[in-house]
């Protein structure tokens, strides 16, 4: 019953070397089995012992030997070879695992990539060339398969770095009963038709670019926020605490022109204020004189009042000048005093 339960794995490496492995220790943990094989058919079968055993913890677990024909028979026996534990007859051509593709070339034209390799010497019709690639922005591999020995695909971005790898596959079930593929050829890195050592440089460059842009954006955003806060703070400060004028601007001439001499600055300031006041009130005095002339004309029409104001006797010039000076400041008090002066002068003249 062991013949049906022992699992075996059969690999024919490019139709050059056979590898047979078995799982006997699960059934016979303390039995170190032996292995024999033959490629002969017919009555004159010659069984050959395993030239190279594969070991698992000191026990025989497989055998390596040269491929010598299309038909293979194997036998697994106990340690002394007296009892057969497992036997099988098979077609070695149905267990072929191809070698890696040789002399792989890449042709990059705009957004199209063509990958080619040398044709194997045997069984080209049973082989397919598989291409896998991914960019730095892809999480998994993308696959394209074509007849041996060229595969073509398009849609590649020349601004991205791509990883490529290729292998050969055997057709199932027409050529193989097991889906065997070759090992992957060494991974290569391409960008816009240029072979690179790796895509890490592009990732680093992109990371640096993203970092610089993010940092610049953060700085600009912080400056904008600070500017807004500053404007709001100035408005709040002006509303809560109004600005106090700086004395150095009010008394600039005291400091700059008079070197802090307050008395000199005060005298000059009073002189300038008086001069400005006289210049400002001069038109009013001219107007008052014109008004006085109009009054005198009206007095001429009245008769007796003109004689009172135009007499040439001993009227005091000082009093008249005082009256004229009071005219320069036409206030209510001056007007009242001037009216009294007129009345008193009229009384004196009358008495005389």
Strand partners, 133: 142, 164
pLDDT along the chain (352 residues), means of 10: 74 94 84 91 85 92 94 90 88 94 91 92 90 90 92 90 94 92 92 87 57 84 88 75 60 64 70 59 51 60 45 42 42 41 39 33
CATH fold group of domain 8-97:
Immunoglobulin-like (2.60.40)
- Report strand pairing: 34-38 vs 71-77: antiparallel
In this chain, the answer to whether the domains covering 8-97 and 105-196 adopt an identical fold is yes
Burial class (CB in 10 A: 0-12, 13-18, 19+), 65: buried
Distance CA 65, CA 38 (A): 10
Q: What is the pTM of this model?
A: 0.55
- Confirm if 46 and 69 have CB atoms less than 8 A apart: no
Locus of tokens 């990883």: 163
Q: What angle do CA 161, 167, 172 make, to 5 degrees?
A: 135
Q: Which two tokens stand for residue 289?
A: 């004189």
Pairing of the two strands 84-91 and 48-49:
unpaired
Per the listing, tokens 């440089």 go with 201
Read off the DSSP letter of residue 8.
E
* Number of other residues whose CB lies within 10 A of the CB of residue 95: 23
Q: How far is CA 285 from CA 222, 278, 291, 324, 338, in A?
A: 67, 10, 9, 10, 16
Angle between helices 332-351 and 317-328 (to 10 degrees): 160
* Token pair belonging to 314: 């001993």
Nearest to 104 by CA among 131, 135, 134, 136: 131
Tell me how far apart the alpha carbons of residues 37 and 50 are, in angstroms, rounded to a whole number.
7
Q: How far apart are CA 350 and CA 327, in angstroms?
A: 25
Burial, 23: exposed, middle or buried (Cβ in 10 Å; 0-12, 13-18, 19+)?
Answer: middle
Yes or no: say if 120 and 204 are a contact pair by the CB < 8 Å rule: no
Whole-number Cα distances in Å, 35 to 2, 74, 75, 96: 15, 7, 6, 21
Domain ranges in the chain are 8-97, 105-196
In CATH terms, the superfamily for domain 105-196 is Immunoglobulins (2.60.40.10)
């Amino acid at each position: 019953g062991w013949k049906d339960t022992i699992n075996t794995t059969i690999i024919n490496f490019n139709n050059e070397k056979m590898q047979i492995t078995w799982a006997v220790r699960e059934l016979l943990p303390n039995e170190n089995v032996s292995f024999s094989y033959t490629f002969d058919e017919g009555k004159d079968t010659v069984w050959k012992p395993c030239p190279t055993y594969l070991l698992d913890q000191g026990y025989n677990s497989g055998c390596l030997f040269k491929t010598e024909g299309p038909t293979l028979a194997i036998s697994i026996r106990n340690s002394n070879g007296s009892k057969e534990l497992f036997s099988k007859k098979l077609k070695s051509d149905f267990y072929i695992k191809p070698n890696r593709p040789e002399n792989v070339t890449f042709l990059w034209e705009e957004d199209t990539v063509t990958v080619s390799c040398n044709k194997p010497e045997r069984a080209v019709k049973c082989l397919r060339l598989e291409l896998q690639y991914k960019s730095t922005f892809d999480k998994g591999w993308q696959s394209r398969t074509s007849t041996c020995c060229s595969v073509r695909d398009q849609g590649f971005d020349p601004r991205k770095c791509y990883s490529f790898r290729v292998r050969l596959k055997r057709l199932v079930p027409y050529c193989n009963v097991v889906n065997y593929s070759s090992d992957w050829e060494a991974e290569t890195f391409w960008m816009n038709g240029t072979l690179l050592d790796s895509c890490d440089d592009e990732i680093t460059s992109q990371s640096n670019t993203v970092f610089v842009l993010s940092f610049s954006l953060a700085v600009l955003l912080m400056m904008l926020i600070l500017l807004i806060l500053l404007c709001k703070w100035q408005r709040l400060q002006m509303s809560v605490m109004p600005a106090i004028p700086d004395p150095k601007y009010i008394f600039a001439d005291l400091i700059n022109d008079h070197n802090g001499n307050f008395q000199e600055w005060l005298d000059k300031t009073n002189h300038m204020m008086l001069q400005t006041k006289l210049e400002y009130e001069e038109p009013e005095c001219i107007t008052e004189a014109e008004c006085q002339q109009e009054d005198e004309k009206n007095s001429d029409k009245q008769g007796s009042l003109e004689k009172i104001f135009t007499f040439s006797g001993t009227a005091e010039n000082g009093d008249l000048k005082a009256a004229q000076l009071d005219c320069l400041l036409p206030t209510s008090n001056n007007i009242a005093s001037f009216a009294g002066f007129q009345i008193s002068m009229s009384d004196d003249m009358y008495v005389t």
